[in-house]
Amino acid sequence: MIVAGDTESIAAVATSTSDPASDARTRPKGAEPRNARQARYAAQSLAALEAAGNPVAPLVREFMEIFPDKVPAVLPPDRGVRHEIDLVPGAKYCVTRQWPLPRDQVEAIDAFFESRRQAGHVRESLSPHSSPTFCVKKATGRWTIVHAFNKLNEATIPAQTPIPRKDMVQDTMSGSTKYSAVDLMDGFYQILMREDDAPLTAVSTPSGMLWEWLVMPQGVKNALATFNRMVPNLLRPYRDFAPSYFDDIFIHSRAEDGMTDVEVHLQHLRKVFEVMKENKLYANLKQCIFCAPEIPELGSYVSKDGVRADPEKIEAICAWPTPQDQKQLRQWLGLATYLHHYSKNFASTIHPLSQLLKADATWSWRPELQAAFGAVKSSLSTAPSGRHAVGDEDDDECAVCTAEDVAAVEVAATSPLRDLIVDAYKEDASCLELIQFLRDPGAVAKRKLSPRSRSRVDRYSLDGELLTYRVDREDPRASSFLWTTISELG
């Protein structure tokens, strides 16, 4: 029996292909409605690229084998990264008994495993571990095969593979003139298991079989971390022009060495395609974008002018009705925070709203809260199409910086930047609370600090009117930094 709390550890082996809901909302200029996106995906093909005169079309034709309709059912090559399962010390055998299922589901499960056996993805097992298999019906009437790896996942040590920072990926791409986005097909079944860990993936069937996976199955913990290690590892020589984010590869180019931006871009794409061909990585042609002046990337749009917010997300934030309780406010703040880079003085603006989310806060929607709610909407709706471009500065006493969350810069004692930072404190509630606490430490002042600041309060100190932050670096120049949380200085 599967209870409500267990569903987080269960993953479908095949996903549903039901049609997306219709989206008829009016969007600002530049937004692409979901139904238009789906139509673009459906129309994308090699023939469509050739008909449109896309310069990448001949290259796509040359490497058409990496754009199959379905991932070939064969054992993938060893690409230097395998999925590993490390159990917590003292973990016992991960066993959940298989329960009986109706005949049609049993037949669907047996057919699934027979096809995987022929592909070399599974083998019969003698493992002491066992996770059950069951079915969920798709909207099409076909069965989705599901493994309940609950106990295995609970006993698995979480991987600490760093997730790429979206802002860093976007910043490295902004300023180029040609962009492509390659959407890799499902990474499951495309990565080998570490040989000693295959018995841990053993799954039972209602017909009495016990199989173990030789490739990474869906539903196991740390699968995304493994995929995120493999792709950057393969593309490491080309990371300057082909950064990746999980199953997305972004290729960006500009004119250089006497070649046009298109010529450079074709060279970059060829190198990426060659890596994919050599390592048998496959992409979904319908969801790829080639040689465009701007591409959607990780919730934003990137072009030579910089990074701009997705108009669809801005519209969703601006169309949000006034929250009626903490749950609705938390949902709206979560969405708005996703685009906080595009809202001036975001932290100080939402401060009164975030105070209303505290556990001991009483819900009362006051005029100042409505004003803050509207200020964020207004700031996002009037946000420029791209980020402020930071120019080259030759003045040693002047610094211009962009801070994503907490940015640290070393500043000379006489630098005009000090005055700018002091002025910026007046616009940032968290800075003011820290300064107040450091000048007059006490339990009341400490409770006003954000949880993040409270956990690091021993690292802060005052240098006159400036906040400093102690960092764990052996470089003596990094012993104390001036810091600020404003979006821009300059």
Q: Does a structural domain hold residue 42?
A: no
Using the predicted structure, report yes or no on whether residue 413 has a pLDDT greater than 80.
no
pLDDT of residue 405: 38
* Residue 363's CATH number: 3.30.70
pLDDT of residue 418: 62
CB within 8 Å of 476: residues ≥ 6 apart: none
Q: What is 170-192 written as a DSSP string?
A: HHHHTT-SEEEEEEB---TTSSB
Q: Does a structural domain hold residue 463?
A: yes
In this structure, are 367 and 408 located in the same domain? no
Mean of pLDDT values over 443-467: 72
pLDDT tens-place string over residues 265-311:
999 999 999 999 999 999 999 999 999 999 888 778 888 888 888 88
Using the predicted structure, report yes or no on whether residue 478 has a pLDDT greater than 50.
no
pLDDT of residue 485: 32
List the structure tokens of 179. 């962009």
Containing domain of residue 334, as a range? 310-381
CA distance 430 to 483: 12
Q: Does a structural domain hold residue 375?
A: yes
pLDDT tens-place string over residues 119-141:
999 999 999 999 999 999 888 88
In this structure, are 314 and 365 located in the same domain? yes
Percentages (nearest 5) of helix, strand, coil residues in the chain: 40, 15, 45
Domain boundary (331, 352, 381) is at: 381
CA distance 471 to 464: 19
Using the predicted structure, report yes or no on whether residue 166 has a pLDDT greater than 90.
no
Q: Are 182 and 256 in contact (CB under 8 A)?
A: no
Q: Is 469 helix (H, G, I), strand (E, B) or coil?
A: strand
In this structure, are 453 and 484 located in the same domain? yes
pLDDT of residue 174: 79
pLDDT of residue 109: 96
Q: Does a structural domain hold residue 443?
A: yes
pLDDT of residue 470: 63
Q: Is 197 helix (H, G, I), strand (E, B) or coil?
A: helix
- Start-to-end C-alpha separation, the chain: 60
DSSP conformational letter for 474:
S
Backbone region of residue 120 per phi and psi (left: phi > 0; alpha: psi in -120 to 50; beta: other values): left
DSSP conformational letter for 339:
T
pLDDT of residue 450: 73
Domain boundary (381, 412, 440) is at: 381
Mean of pLDDT values over 446-460: 71
Average pLDDT, the chain: 79
Domain boundary (381, 414, 440) is at: 381
Q: Are 468 and 460 in contact (CB under 8 A)?
A: yes
pLDDT of residue 426: 65
Q: Does a structural domain hold residue 316?
A: yes
Mean of pLDDT values over 380-387: 63
Q: Does a structural domain hold residue 304?
A: no
Q: Does a structural domain hold residue 33?
A: no
Using the predicted structure, report yes or no on whether residue 96 has a pLDDT greater than 50.
yes
Q: Does a structural domain hold residue 174?
A: no
Q: What is the domain count for the chain?
A: 2
Assign 39 a pLDDT band (cuts: 50, 70, 90): low
In this structure, are 413 and 478 located in the same domain? yes
pLDDT of residue 147: 94
In this structure, are 406 and 475 located in the same domain? yes
CA distance 113 to 122: 8
CA 207 to chain centre: 39
Q: Is the dihedral of CA 335, 337, 342, 346 positive or negative?
A: positive
pLDDT of residue 151: 95
List the structure tokens of 349. 């603006």
pLDDT of residue 82: 96
In this structure, are 405 and 485 located in the same domain? yes
Assign 404 a pLDDT band (cuts: 50, 70, 90): very low
CA distance 375 to 55: 45
